[in-house]
Amino acid sequence: EIWNIVANYTFLIYWIIALIILIITRRIIRGRLNKSQTPYPMVFSIGGSHDAEFNAEGHGFKWKAYADVKRRDRSTNEPLDIQVDRVKGPYCMNDFREMKVSRTYWGRYKYKCPKCGYKRILLKNAWTLKCDIGDEIEAGYRDKVNTR
């Protein structure tokens, strides 16, 4: 009798199995994406003034970064190394508006401009992108200083 029930409802059983596989796959993908992000800092600091301000572009967005000088040349007082303290953004490439962030069904991050509709879908959240941009600015400045 049980075999008759299973035989009569095989289509329904296949759909239930497919749904369970879909849910498990989605959870695994979202979990891996969440684990690949840069962890948030444990301590937040309130900074005052900064020595330098940069406008940068990266990952399809505009950014504004604030940096402090770590070392200066003793003879010329020229900055030799900087430390990016704060990065603001992401901003739209077209009109410099702050992008709205949402998650897609599979866990990726969708950035959208509220005015012009500019969209980007990335695997990284805003905090990870800010850390990447800060690192790129510091590395670019060190490279520029070292090639002189």
The pLDDT of residue 65 is 94
Q: For residue 3, what are the contacts with CB-CB under 8 A and spacing of at least 6?
A: none
- Is the model's pTM score more than 0.95? no
Q: For residue 112, what are the contacts with CB-CB under 8 A and spacing of at least 6?
A: 99, 100, 102, 118, 119
- Quick one: average pLDDT of 1-24? 86
Reply yes or no on whether the pLDDT at 5 is more than 90: no
- Quick one: average pLDDT of 48-74? 88
Chain-centre distance of CA 82, in angstroms?
22
Give the alpha-carbon dihedral of 44, 49, 52, 57, to 10 degrees: 50
Percentage above 90 pLDDT, the chain: 57
Structure tokens at 6: 């299973």
- Quick one: average pLDDT of 80-89? 88
Residue spans per domain, the chain: 2-35, 52-146
pLDDT, one tens digit per residue, over 13-36 is 898 999 999 999 999 999 999 999
pLDDT-derived band at 54, boundaries 50, 70, 90: confident
pLDDT-derived band at 135, boundaries 50, 70, 90: very high
pLDDT-derived band at 117, boundaries 50, 70, 90: very high
Reply yes or no on whether the pLDDT at 123 is more than 90: yes
Kind and range of the H or E run holding 103:
strand 100-103
How far apart, in whole angstroms, are the C-alpha atoms of residue 74 and residue 113? Answer: 45
